Every structure is written in structure tokens, then in C-alpha cells.
Chains A and B, each alone.
Chain A
Amino acid sequence: MSERALAADLERALTGAPAGDEARALAALLVAAAEPSTFGVPSSEVETALARTTLESPRTRFARPLRIGAVVVAVVATATLFFPHTAGQGVQARAAVAVDATYFVNADIVPAQPELFPPTEVTGYVDGRHGRAHMDVFARGGTPVAETVLRANGSVERWLARTNTIVVAPSCEALPGGCGETFDPLGLYVRSVETSHARVRHLGDVYELKLSAGRVEQVVRISAKTYLPRQIEWRQDGRLVATIRFTMLQRARPRSETEWSLAPHERAKVVELTADGKRVRIERVAPAKPSPAIRWLGSTYDGARAKVEEITLTGGTATRITYGRLVVWNYRAVAPPAVLEGRGPAEKVFALPGGALVHAYFGIEARQVAVVTYGAENVAIVSTTGDHVDVVRAAQQLTRPGSP
């Protein structure tokens, strides 16, 4: 009998089916060898081990940490070292687990001294699991002050009401004062409860967590029942700076991708910053030949001949192919200003055959933009003809030079 046949015979013997002598002898040996391991683990032991695992091992969930309140976070992060196990670690772990989801947040931020900053109200969503946030900031009386979107990759888009400007940056660090002015206290808390060591006190129906690092300290009161924060005090050098009271902190269903985008802001000026905070501008334009690496609409499109140019941007490069009033941009990390300026309020998202994703923006001053993303490569089609179908149709006809 071949080895393969014997192996199959052994399986028959193990299942109790008729089998040859050798297979049955080997099966008996295996069953006897395995028998001592066939013990049960009582459910009480399983539950105890489960509780120990989840309480004693705080998760490190953020592949890319929240950039909210980056100035303060940077200080907090510097203290992210080894901390000894304490009795409060279980409470801290539960607190961290409690905010590991998407929450709708509404909070009042009141300065300790009126001259520090005006009282504000923040409202929006924080996705603690993926490190995303979308917050609106209002002055007392409901006047909008700012809107900020923080993405899981750390990039930030911020609209400022006073100047009607949208600032797009690869990280909070690129913004002139970080994201501190967005005042997202929950995001900051989520970040620090995971990474810093908390001193914990039990005060009736709440726990008080002191998350300190350098000059900044958060004194957080969390519910002893839900482990969610009720109030946060920000202290600096031992002095109270602001008090944040959560008027609403409600678990929300996961939000769609479009809800992690800025709301439309008509006629807002768009400013893009590089990683080191410089404004992205066109620095040089040079005529070029179409390289096989780009995508275009052919040597002519709708009767217009292609004009190909290499564009040097602050912090990056792009290729611009102009067909009359239709322009195709090829770029990677740094988007050309013309692409961002053309992004209007309405957005349509669809996939091309092959998987490339198209974001189409319509409506600002007859300018239409479709951005097609092929992994790290982006191709944007900007049209000033005022025809929505124009850019969508063009997006579907992109090819590489030389391809049929």
C-alpha cells in the first residue's frame, strides 16, 4: 500500500470506518497520544482570562495617531514611555475601550480666564478607531467659527469662517498653530488615554483620570458606569486653562466616507500647504513631451490639440496637458492649486472599470473637476466649460500615450 493510500486509510480508521490493520493500529496510537489534551476549560476560567486580557493590555489602535490638538498632543506624546502597572490601569483600559468607536460629540469649552479665548461650542463626529474627526466650532450664540476634518492618514482640511478660506495640509504640523484651535477635546482625550499613564481616583459615581505630560495635564471625570468622559479640565503649569463639559457624547453608527469631508463652502478660497507649512504655488512651467507614465486624452480631444507642460510646484511636480478649456493634470502627493480651487460643493464618487476611483466636483463659477485616483497617482480633469458631463466623460477616456 502506498503512503498516500495508507494516509487515507488512517483517516478512515480515525473516523471509525473499516480500515486495514496497520491503519487501525496507528489510529489507536494517535488517539491515545491525543487523549490527555482533551480536557475542558471551564467557562469561569475563560471569562476571567478574557477580563484580564482586555483590562491589562491597552490596545495600540492608531496606526497613525490623531493629529487633533497637535501642539498639546506633541507634549503628551513625549511622555509616552513605559509606565508601571497600577491599580488604575484597569479603569484606564476600560476608558480607552469605551471610546474605541464613532461618537457624536457636543461640548462647551469655557476658558478659565475670559481673556484667554472666547467660549466656544464644538460639535461633530470622532472616530476613535480610525483616528478621524469632523468638528464644527461655534462661538456663543451659534456663529460658525471653523470646521475641521482630520483624516486617518493624518491630513487635515480646515475652513475658517472669518476669511472663508479652506486650508488643506498633509498634517496638523503644517498648519500655523497646529490644530489646537479646533478644540477637539475628545480627540485629544482619546489619544492620551491610550498612550499616557493615568492616575486614577474613584469619586462616587465617577473616576477621575489625571493624564499628565510635561506642562499639560488633563483632569478627566469619566462615568464609573459607562467609562465615558463627562468633563475635562485642561491645566497648564498647574493652572486651569479651560473646562470642557460634554453636553452630548453619543455612540453613532459608522459614518459614510463622504461624512468625513468638509461641508460645501461657496466661494471659499483654497490654500494648500506642504508638509513644512509652505503654500503650494506654481514655481516653473516648461514645455514637455508626453511621457508614457502619464495619462491623457490623446494628442487631440474635442478638436483641441494637446499642449504638454512640466510644472514645478512648491513641494512637488505635475504634468499639465491643456486641450483648450479642458486641462488634465497628472500629480502625486501635492495637488496643483487649479485642482483644489475648482473643487465645488457637490461631489460624485464612482469607480472606473479597473478600480480607479473618481471624485467629481461641480459648480463653482462654471468650473468642474474630476479627480481620478490610481493608487499614489492622481489625474485631475479641470473644465471651465460649465458642462458636468464633460469631466465625467473625459475621466472615462484617460489613456497612457502610445496605448491603443
Chain B
Amino acid sequence: MEEGLDAYRAFRREQADFEALFRSHYPEIVRYLAARLGSRDDALDLASDVFAEAWRRVPGLQWRGRPVRAWLYRVAANMAADELKRRKRTVPLEDAAVADPSEATPDRIALARALRTLPPDHQLVVHLRLVEGLPFTEVARVMNRNVGACQMLMLRAAKSLRSLLAVEGVRDV
């Protein structure tokens, strides 16, 4: 009960203080979009769009038991999907890794590409748990699922990655 009340208060605080919301979540949304799009520059552009939308719409959000962060990820995921569709129609997806290209190895590139081909919810669970380091209880709140379902998603993500890399002939990373 107290947890719910705290969550509600946190939601209202974030809703009322856009600057704090931005500073807390902008970096993670950039990282998430970079993983989805394979380009940090594109991620910065799209993150600006996500927060422009948040600036307009977060003050009017209704409390549905989920943090504002969940709304941000949903908007970011939708925008990333639109961007990927647009790219498919125009230019082929680059195989660029997110990190410094000088550190990229063929296996790392294959791994990054494999991660981007996973379903969006698999990518999100990996991102929230392993990039942002959130506990599964928090991952579950953001993804609006229970902890067990999120753990199963993580397992499926790992198995899919292994299969995709096997197809590419990559054994060790």
C-alpha cells in the first residue's frame, strides 16, 4: 500500500517537474534509442522528439499505476519503430555498433545487429535490466508485466541471441 502511495507521489512529482524528469531519464532514453537504431546521433535526435512530446503531454497524463518512465519508453519504442520503418523504405540499415567504431570487432558488430533484430519487448527487457541496471521489480513496473514474465522474456532474448549468432557463425563474444 505504502509502495503504491510512494509510486503515486513520485509520478506526480515527475509530472510537475519537467526539468527533473528530463535530467533523470534523458540519458537512458538516448541509450535505449541508440541500441534500437544502431546510431547514437539518430538516438539524440529522436530522444529530443520523445521529450518534446513529453513536454506537451506529461502534465496531462492520468495515473494508471505506472511511472512516467513507462510512458517515456512506450513513446520512444513507437518512435523508434516508425524510424526503422522509414529507413527500410529509404536506406538499408547500417551495421554500425553504438560504441566507438575503433573498438568494434566483427563479433561485436554481429552481436549488436542480432540484438537489434530481437522483438522490441526483448530489447527493452535487456536494456532495462542490463544497461540501466534496474531490478526486475522495477523492470516489471515499466513494462507493465509481472517479474516472472520479465525473467522469461530475458531468457527468450538470450536464447534468440544465441541462435542468431550461431547462424552468423559466431561462437564466442
Contact = CB atoms under 8 A, between A and B. Distances in A.
B22 A50 contact: yes
Given A36-B99, A39-B98, A54 B154 contact: no
Interface string B149-166: 001101101110110010
A226 interface: no
A37 B129 CA distance: 12
B55 A29 contact: no
Interface in B21-78: 22-23, 26-27, 30-32, 34-35, 40, 44, 47-48, 51-52, 55-56, 59-60
Contacts of B158: 10, 26-27, 29-30
A393 interface: no
Contacts of A31: 130
B47 to A, nearest CB: 7
Contact of A34 (B18, B97, B131, B159): B131
Interface stretch (A58-66, A209-217, A244-252): A58-66
Chain A: interface secondary structure?
helix
A358 B136 CA distance: 45
Q: Which of B55, B148, B158 has the most CB of A within 10 A?
A: B158
B141 interface: no
Interface in B119-150: 126-127, 129-131, 136, 148
Contacts of A59: 55-56, 59
Residue among B126, B151, B157 facing the most chain A CB atoms (10 A cut-off): B151
A53 B35 CA distance: 22
A181 interface: no
Interface in A117-136: 129
B26 A41 contact: yes
Interface stretch (B2-10, B83-91, B106-114): B106-114
Interface of A: 3-4, 6-8, 10-11, 14, 25-41, 45-46, 49-50, 52-54, 56-57, 59-61, 63, 129
19 contacts: A7-B155, A11-B151, A28-B173, A29-B165, A34-B131, A35-B99, A36-B108, A37-B31, A37-B34, A37-B127, A37-B131, A38-B31, A41-B26, A41-B27, A46-B27, A49-B47, A49-B48, A50-B26, A54-B55
B22 to A, nearest CB: 5
Interface of B: 18-19, 22-23, 26-27, 30-32, 34-35, 40, 44, 47-48, 51-52, 55-56, 59-60, 97-99, 108, 111-112, 114-115, 126-127, 129-131, 136, 148, 151-152, 154-155, 157-159, 161-162, 165, 173
B131 A49 contact: no
A225 to B, nearest CB: 19
Contacts of A53: 22, 48, 51-52, 55
B115 A33 contact: yes
A30 to B, nearest CB: 5
A27 B161 CA distance: 11
B128 to A, nearest CB: 10
Contact of B152 (A7, A28, A129): A7
A373 to B, nearest CB: 21
Contact of B173 (A3, A29, A40, A129): A29
Could you say which of A26, A27, A30, A46 has the most chain B C-beta atoms within 10 Å of its C-beta?
A: A30
Given A26-B162, A29-B161, A6 B155 contact: yes
A50 B19 contact: yes
Contact of B130 (A25, A30, A39): A30
A33 B55 contact: no
Contacts of A36: 35, 97-99, 108, 112
Given A30-B157, A37-B131, A53-B51, A4 B162 contact: no
Which of A25, A28, A56, A57 has the largest count of B CB atoms less than 10 A from its CB? A57
A35 B152 CA distance: 21
Contacts of A45: 44
